[in-house]
Structure 1
Amino acid sequence: MFAATPPSSGPKPSAKSSPSPAQKALQKMGLVRPIDLALHLPLRYEDETRITPLKNAREGSVVQIEATVTACDVQLHPRRQLVVAVDDGSATCELRFFSFYPSHLKALAVGAQLRIRGEVKGGFWGRQMLHPAFRAAGGELPRALTPVYPTVAALPQAYLRRAVVTALQRVEWAETLAPQLPAPPMAFYGQNGLQPLPSLRDALTFLHHPAPDVALATLEDHSHPAWQRLKAEELLAQQLSQQQSRRERDRLRAPVLQPAPATADALPLHEQLLAVLPFDLTAAQRRVGAEIAADLARAVPMHRLLQGDVGSGKTVVAALAACIAMDAGWQCALMAPTEILAEQHFAKLIGWLEPLLAVHGRCVAWLVGGQKKKERAAMLALVESGEAALVIGTHAVIQEQVRFKNLALAIIDEQHRFGVAQRLALRQKLAAHGMEPHLLMMSATPIPRTLAMSYYADLDVSVIDELPPGRTPIVTKLIADSRKDEVIARIGAQVNAGRQVYWVCPLIEESEALDLSNATATHADLSEALPGVSVGLLHSRMAGSEKKAVMAEFSAGRIGVLVSTTVIEVGVDVPNASLMVIEHAERFGLSQLHQLRGRVGRGAAASACVLLYATNDSGRVGETAKERLRAMAETNDGFEIARRDLEIRGPGEFLGARQSGDALLRFADLATDIALLEWARAVAPLMLDRFPPLAAQHVARWLGGKSDYLKA
């Protein structure tokens, strides 16, 4: 049942009694401090401030009426339901309840006077409301809109509303923005001309109980001045945390890593590597390599993000950085999110570096989760002794039993695929020396400028903005899945010409919830449709040894078509593969589609990516899916892809924040709030310098214990 504006007294747990289910639910939702509840904003609002005569209610509108029950019956056909007739003096209406309890029959007895709220529908028998909210008539109408909050089953709206009202009274409302600081850049025109933004207290009080005459559109699109105040303060808290993190890191110490000087007998390790590489570095790779080398030569921990589009050559830049660390007598670790990607790095780097390291009695170690006990023990011993100059692996690299002798450089590939806690764990591996390792994070998902300004404010960013010569442009085609037979015919032609093909499916096996093709069935269908062609199957549920064997066969050219799930999204490098087919492409995110497309076009042959999309019964694709597919067809530029992906999906996937559950912006929108973000970037250092207690108070209010996640 609905309620008017809640009373000021809130739930206060007894010191002796155990928490109620509602109190436990509050804790589970993270609503612990008064400010947490104050910042728990409504999903929507209900207008209970007025009574509408039934005769004036338009079909489809949600209205509140006061009426008398004239009939109340339980009907058994066509299904059991409670049917109640009411009359407000201007017209009649029928209320229908398909689930009800004995208490409903009592409350809805003939003659009861009720206040009822619901959507008015027209029907054969006249006006109807299905499952409306109701309570006894009478009492004053609320003066503000009634908030409807995000909640869980154990936490009723009425309880949550009372808790929020209590919290608003208990928050310490001392403003954390000193008057000497520049004001947020948002102002609005009211009846009296240009008005400043409201205080945080006034903004939150208003958003929990807005006046009934407010333009609801400004609340829904977050353009109302009260929303602008919240977004400004949230962005400032984030920038304060990031810039404080940068300042704290500048006080930390890291090993000083400088390339060994060339001698008559030997070149430095990184120059030896350059000499044996079968290709020349691009200008962008040389520039980025110099930026990283300059960081490594400082006593302050490097915290650098290396980003470049698919195939731009980030691995060789990372290898050169590792050479500088190893040449100085220190260890380097490279961590990748999947065993397939780690295996690709291992195969490439061991070929480049093992012969150079062997001269000095050092080696490359391999650490993954599924290793046999004896092999793992041998690798751990090599790492602990320092004989392993370079350690490559998956999450296994950061496990507690992995003890480095002297880790100086940690490289994280596809860093957005790791949770922030995992990145922090890697940075603790040099704590015994009283230092932190230098940290180089790599991403083939280019970061849009607003995202870099916001979430990577404490990072230095290097960009490889050119591809190596010889890469062929990839042609992207959008094809409805009703034309799948044509695509299979093209696959046959490609394989007969000596080329190889990827076919990517979104699921491993059948799901009743999603009508999607699965890898296992597709493998069987393609094997039948392409007689004489070797069709392989790869998915995440296969054992590591099986995956490795399949990839080895495909890399060697003995498999013509590889049917796979997105396990091949990153790291797989087979230059002979010239066609990528992505089934149900409308189900994938833009960055993922771009990553998958990057698995072809790695050789000299003309390459294509076919996006097979499914349509609904009317032959159409959803609007969001259409945007993604259109973007893929229009551009191969990873930065433009990333910008559009941010607009469509928000920042979560770029950051790996979903793996930590923290650090996402709740109120600000990086696509529309760039002016507020630039204000926060400018104000944060001023606040840290001139008002450090206010800065600490502001971060504590907004982030609590979550600020550590923004430092990873």
Structure 2
Amino acid sequence: MKAASPFSFPVSPALAAKLAKLGLTRDADLVLHLPLRWEDETRLTPIRDLLPGATAQVQAVVTDASVTYRPRRMLAVTVEDAGGVLGIRFLNFYPSHLKLFQPGESFRFNGEVRGGFLGLEMVHPRFAKADDATPLPAQLTPVYPTTAGLGQATLRRAVERALVAPIADTLPAEWLAELGLPGLEASIRLLHQPPLDCALAELESRQHPAWQRLAFDELLAQQLSLATARRQRKSRPTLPLPPRQQLTTAFARALPFELTAAQARAWREISADLGEPHPMRRLLQGDVGSGKTVVAALACLQAIENGFQAAFMAPTEILAEQHYRKLAPRLSELGVRCAWVSGSQRRAERTAAWQAIAAGEADLAFGTHALFQEAGSFQRLGLAVVDEQHRFGVE
């Protein structure tokens, strides 16, 4: 019994597997699988008008085809039209190609023109059998992101079949009018099938209104997702960690500099969030040397002065140790007990560190992701700081 196609049209299991490698498992995925670029196959260039370095499409008749072995094995094809001769070379080819390029057969070749020893040539151009009766495309040809074994022609046909169904808009008509945005269906269809009069430069630079519409939807979806996650977090109760102005104030006063306006603003927001009766999740973003570590240390101290422990994680042992050596001396002066967990430590040292953390004798633990992957546990963890989170490879 054949398995049902995951698409609204028949797809072989082999093709479905290749599409799945690209994350395309339903019609909607194909609809939103947008081109990387577009090629103009709507016009033919006479061979006499070709220029080296330009990409062009020619229609010509084969006059000769043979396999040569110098300087390497290749298929050399000579074609001509009414105004000139062009060389075609294939460095990788099948025996069937030699049989295909029979003298007198007419083809269209599309590729980059190069200057060769015997005149102009194309190396590995795209080609198709065609003559004067073969119509030219009426629109620009999309080139999609693909995977091994999945050709552009096959992918284009799949996308075209997925585009048969109407596409419902995600925004009310009055919003579109107010924001000056085009409709979703018109935008998607234009990107897949740009008309001849469409500005190719605007498409490739992503400045076209169709791109702007999809960018708006992507940003809107991201904001809605963040708002939903924020609402879910607020529905989960947790113990608040209100500002006590003890360790945090002492630490700030001991610094050899005053917090910048941006640091102070970020710290006020984080401090207020820690005092809420629901979990906090914040991204602190800034340039290198802008003072993110100081703000993170203040957050750890607010958790500690409420009787909780804090974990300070970094993606590498070197960076984690750097944080430890930089912060531990200052924090120990305030009575904060720090622990350092590293895979390079001797077993006895690492065991002692974990024992202190588990017994609540360490207020702040520094380390890599091993802080949450090893067998150890925290007695009362209240805050986790993940430095350079993008390098952990996790959400």
For Structure 1 versus Structure 2, the TM-score category normalised by the shorter chain is 0.7 to 0.9
CA spacing shift, 1:120–1:328, aligned 2, 3 Å: closer
Q: 2:231 aligned to 231, 241, 247, which one? A: 247
Q: Distance in 2 between matches of 1:180 and 1:368?
A: 58
Secondary structure class of the residue paired with 1:388:
coil
Q: 1:147 aligned to 132, 142, 150, which one? A: 142
Q: Distance in 1 between matches of 2:299 and 2:56?
A: 66
Q: Distance in 1 between matches of 2:79 and 2:191?
A: 34
Q: Distance in 1 between matches of 2:120 and 2:73?
A: 20
Q: Distance in 1 between matches of 2:300 and 2:126?
A: 65
- C-alpha deviation, 1:106, in angstroms: 0.7
Partner of 2:349: 375
Query: 5 Å matches for 1:361-510?
Result: 363-399=337-373, 401-421=375-395
CA spacing shift, 1:319–1:80, aligned 2, 3 Å: closer
- C-alpha deviation, 1:167, in angstroms: 2.3
Task: Confirm or deny that 1:176 pairs with 2:160.
Answer: no
Task: Confirm or deny that 1:159 pairs with 2:159.
Answer: no
Partner of 1:69: 62
Letter matched to residue 152 of structure 2: Q
Query: 5 Å matches for 1:596-611?
Result: none
Query: 5 Å matches for 1:310-709?
Result: 314-354=292-332, 356-357=334-335, 363-399=337-373, 401-421=375-395
Task: Confirm or deny that 1:303 pairs with 2:281.
Answer: yes
Partner of 2:208: 224
- C-alpha deviation, 1:177, in angstroms: 0.6
Task: Confirm or deny that 1:109 pairs with 2:109.
Answer: no
With normalisation by structure 1, the TM-score equals 0.49
Greater RCO (Cα-Cα under 8 Å, separation 6 or more): 1
CA spacing shift, 1:54–1:280, aligned 2, 3 Å: closer
Q: Distance in 2 between matches of 1:165 and 1:406?
A: 57
- C-alpha deviation, 1:125, in angstroms: 3.7
- C-alpha deviation, 1:81, in angstroms: 3.2
- C-alpha deviation, 1:417, in angstroms: 3.5
Q: Distance in 2 between matches of 1:61 and 1:315?
A: 52
With normalisation by structure 2, the TM-score equals 0.83
Q: Distance in 2 between matches of 1:50 and 1:260?
A: 74
Q: Distance in 2 between matches of 1:51 and 1:136?
A: 14
Q: Distance in 2 between matches of 1:66 and 1:84?
A: 14
Contact kept, 8 Å, 1:144 with 1:212, in 2: the verdict is yes
User: Deviation per CA, 1:572-619, whole angstroms, max 9, x where unpaired?
Assistant: xxxxxxxxxxxxxxxxxxxxxxxxxxxxxxxxxxxxxxxxxxxxxxxx
Partner of 1:131: 124
Q: Distance in 1 between matches of 2:80 and 2:259?
A: 80
Partner of 1:672: none
Matched pairs, number: 385
CA spacing shift, 1:169–1:385, aligned 2, 3 Å: farther
Contact kept, 8 Å, 1:368 with 1:395, in 2: the verdict is no
Q: Please, what is the CA RMSD of the aligned residues?
A: 3.1
Structure 1: gaps (5+ residues): 1-8, 14-18, 187-196, 262-267, 422-712
Letter matched to residue 49 of structure 1: T
- C-alpha deviation, 1:270, in angstroms: 4.2
Q: Distance in 2 between matches of 1:316 and 1:122?
A: 61
Contact kept, 8 Å, 1:10 with 1:162, in 2: the verdict is no
CA spacing shift, 1:77–1:394, aligned 2, 3 Å: closer
Contact kept, 8 Å, 2:170 with 2:184, in 1: the verdict is no
Secondary structure class of the residue paired with 1:211:
coil
Q: 1:118 aligned to 111, 122, 127, which one? A: 111
CA spacing shift, 1:224–1:92, aligned 2, 3 Å: same
CA spacing shift, 1:200–1:100, aligned 2, 3 Å: same
- C-alpha deviation, 1:69, in angstroms: 2.0
Contact kept, 8 Å, 2:113 with 2:121, in 1: the verdict is yes
Partner of 1:48: 41
User: Deviation per CA, 1:528-583, whole angstroms, max 9, x where unpaired?
Assistant: xxxxxxxxxxxxxxxxxxxxxxxxxxxxxxxxxxxxxxxxxxxxxxxxxxxxxxxx
- C-alpha deviation, 1:78, in angstroms: 4.0
Q: 2:271 aligned to 293, 299, 316, which one? A: 293
Q: Distance in 2 between matches of 1:220 and 1:63?
A: 18
Letter matched to residue 386 of structure 1: G
